[in-house]
Structure 1
Amino acid sequence: MSMRLEQLRSFEAVARLANFTRAAEELFVAQPSLSRQIGALEAELGTALFRRAPSGVTLTAAGEVLLPVARRMLGDARSAREQLDELAGLRRGRVRLGAPPTLCVSLVADVLAAYRVAHPGIELHITEGGSRSLVDALDEGALDLALVVTRGERAAAPSTELLPLLSEELVVVSAASTGEGKRGQQRDQVTLAQLATMPQVAFSRSYDLRVATDAAFAAAGLTPSIAVEGAEMDAVLRFVERGIGVAVVPAMVVIDRPGLRSTRLVRPQLSRTVNLARRTDVGPSAAAAAMQQLVFETVDRLAAPGTQLAERVTVASRAQR
C-alpha cells in the first residue's frame, strides 16, 4: 500500500466538510480531480470510504478508521515540511514564473495550486506572454523561471537553458453537446484538410499556437474557414463550448473541461514541446528550486500511464532534465 499525501489531504477535506464541492474549493483543485484522488485511494484500499447521497457524504466504517490515521500522517508531514522550509528559507519569498496563456490554463494552474498548499508563505507572480518574450524576460532577470514552447527551434538566450518537459499533441476541440456528436457523426480523428472546412475560432495572431496552425495550413496549400478571429484563450474555449466553431488547442487544455470534446488531429499530426527555461549564470533561490521540482512532479503525474493524457503527451526522460 502506498497512500500519497495528496490523496490523504483530499480524503481529510471531504470528510471534514462532508461535501466534495467545498473540499475542492478549499484545496484549489477541480472537483473531477478531487473525485479521481478519492477514487484512486478507495481502489488502492479496496473499500469505499464515503457514502454518497444528495444531502452530502458520510464516512463508511473504513473511512472512520482511516480518518485519524490520515490526520496524524498529514500532521507529521506538515511538521516535517515546516522544519525543512525553515532550513530552506521557504517561509517567505517569491517566485516569478512566466508562461504562455495555453499553459496557464492547464499545467501552470495545477503547479500553482500544489505550490500554494506546500508553501503558502511564498508570493507567486505570473507573467503571461509569448515564448520568445518570456525567454528574453528571464535573460534580463525579470523572471525566475519560465515555461516555454518550441517546435524544433531552440529559443534559449545566452544566459538561459531549456529543459524539455514533454511533447504534447495539438487536438481539435468542439462543443461536447453540439455539432458532430449530436448528429451521430462523431469522428475519432480529423485531418488537416477536413479541419480547413470547419468553422474555426482562431486565436489572436500573437499566440505561438496561431502561428503554428497558420504555418501548417499554408504548407498544405489550405485556407481555413474562420468563424471568429482574434480571441484570447478563455474566450476561445467559451466560444467553442457554445458551438460557434472548433479550435486547435494543446491536449492538456481539455483536462477537466466537460463542455469540450477532443478529437485527434492527423495528416499531419501537430505537436509542440513544453520546456522549463532557467538561468545558467545564477543559481535559483530556494523558492524557485522548489517550484522547479514541483513542475517536474506535476508533469510526471498528469501524463502518467493510464491517465487521460497518456496517449497524447510524451514526458521527456529524466536525463534531459
Structure 2
Amino acid sequence: MRFNLEQLRAFSLSVERGSFSAAAREMGKAQSAVSTAISNLELDLGLELFDRSRREPTLTEEGKALLPQAKALLEQAQLFEGRADSMAAGEEGRLTLAVEESLIGDVLEEMLVRFEQAFPQLELELLNPARRDIIRLVQEGRVDIGVLISVMEAGEGYYIKPLRQMAIVAVAGTNHPLSGQMLPSFAELGNHRQLRLTSRSGQIVASEQLSSRAWKVESQYFLMDLVKRGLGWAWVPEHMARPWLDDGSMTLLRFEGRGDVVHMPVDLIISPKYKEGTAGQWLYKELAELEFLV
C-alpha cells in the first residue's frame, strides 16, 4: 500500500479543521508532523493534494476528488476496529434472530432500540417466520435464536430456554354472530369458522384447532384484519388485539364459568451451531422481561 491511515487522517482533518495546525492540535501532534505526513502522502500518490501558494493550503482538484474516498477508508477502518474490539470482549460478530409475528409490536421494537445502543457494531438479521418455520430454520442452522410460542414438544436440533407466558384470547369482529354472547364452553366455537395461523410447510398445531371449518393464514396481522371483517373467530395475543378491542372493532369472546384468557408459554430456542456471546445473553434477559409476558 502506498499510504497509511495516519496520512489519510492528517489529510482529512486538515480539510475539516481548515489548517494543518488545527489538524495537528486535533491529533495531538506537532504541525510539522502533520505537514510531513501529508507531503509523504502526496509523494506516495504522485499527486498534489493541496495548493500551498496561498497563506492557508487549499485543496487541489485532485485533493477534492480523493477526499471522499479518504473519509470512506477512515470510516471503514473505524468500523473494523470497533467490530474487532467488540468480538475480543465476547460479542458475536453477527446474529440472526427469528421472532414469531405474535410477539412483534412496539414493546419488542423498543427493546431492539436498546439492543442497538448496547451493541452498535453487531450485524443483526431479523426474520419473522411462522412458528413451525422458526423451528425448521433453527434446526438447519439458518437462524441462531428463535423466539416463539412454545409448541409443547421436545425437538432435536435446538436448545430451549423458557421465557414467561403470553396471554391469548378468543376474539371475533363486532358483526360476528358470536359477539356479545356468553358462550357455554369452548366447544361452542367449533360451530363457527376459525381463522388460524399456518406455516409455509402447512404444518399446524392440531390442539389449537377447535373448528372443523377453518381458514389458514400465514400472517398474524392479516388474520386479525379478517377477524375484524367478520370472516371468523381466532385465538390471538391479547397485547396485539388490545387496540381493536378498545376501539370496538373486535370483541373479546367470553365463556360461562371460566376465564377468558389462556396463557401460553413462550420459548427461546437456540441453534447448537450458535456460539452464545454477550449479545445473546443480553437478548435472553431482555426478552424474558417484555412487559406483555407474565
TM-score band, normalised by shorter chain: 0.5 to 0.7
Name the CA distance, whole Å, in 2 between partners of 1:169 and 1:190: 21
* 1:199-243 deviation per Cα after TM superposition (whole angstroms, max 9, x unaligned): 4334346576664323xx3xxxx634x4x5445322111111233
Which residue number in structure 2 is paired with residue 212 of structure 1? Answer: 207
1:291 equivalent in alignment to 2:283: yes
Q: 1:229 to 1:143 in 2, by over 3 A?
A: closer
1:1-321 residue pairs with structure 2 within 5 A? 88=89, 93-104=93-104, 108-109=108-109, 111-116=111-116, 118-119=118-119, 121-157=121-157, 160-175=158-173, 177-179=174-176, 185-187=180-182, 191-204=185-198, 206=200, 211-214=206-209, 217=210, 223-224=212-213, 226=214, 228-230=215-217, 232-257=219-244, 258=246, 259-263=249-253, 272-279=264-271, 283-298=275-290, 301-303=291-293, 315=294
Conservation of the 8 A alpha-carbon contact between 2:130 and 2:218: no
Query: TM-score by structure 2 length?
Result: 0.53
Q: Secondary structure at the match of 1:284?
A: coil
Query: Relative to 1, partners in 2 of residues 1:186 and 1:116: Cα closer, same or farther, differing over 3 Å?
Result: farther
How far apart are 1:295 and its partner, in Å?
1.0
Q: One-letter code of the match for 1:223?
A: S
Q: CA deviation at 1:268?
A: 11
| Distance in 2 (alpha carbons) for counterparts of 1:267 and 1:256 | 21
CA gap of 1:145–1:139, structure 2 versus 1, over 3 A, is same
Contact 1:132 1:155 in 2 (8 A): no
Aligned length: 204
Distance (whole Å) between structure 2 residues aligned to residue 192 and residue 134 of structure 1: 29
Displacement of 1:172: 1.0
SS at match of 2:142: coil
Alpha-carbon offset, residue 192 of structure 1: 2.4
Per-residue Cα deviation, 1:33-76 (whole angstroms, up to 9, x for no partner): xxxxxxxxxxxxxxxxxxxxxxxxxxxxxxxxxxxxxxxxxxxx
Following superposition, the deviation at residue 156 of structure 1 comes to 4.3
Deviations for 1:81-133, whole angstroms, at most 9, x for unmatched residues? Answer: xxxx899577x954311133333458754543543455455443122334454
TM-score, normalization: structure 1?
A: 0.49
List gaps (5 residues or longer) in structure 2.
1-85
Task: Measure the CA separation in 2 of the matches of 1:101 and 1:180.
Answer: 28
8 Å contact kept, 2:196–2:223: yes
Deviations 1:258-298 (A, max 9, x none): 44333357699865321111245653133222222221222
Separation in 1, partners of 2:93, 2:109: 20
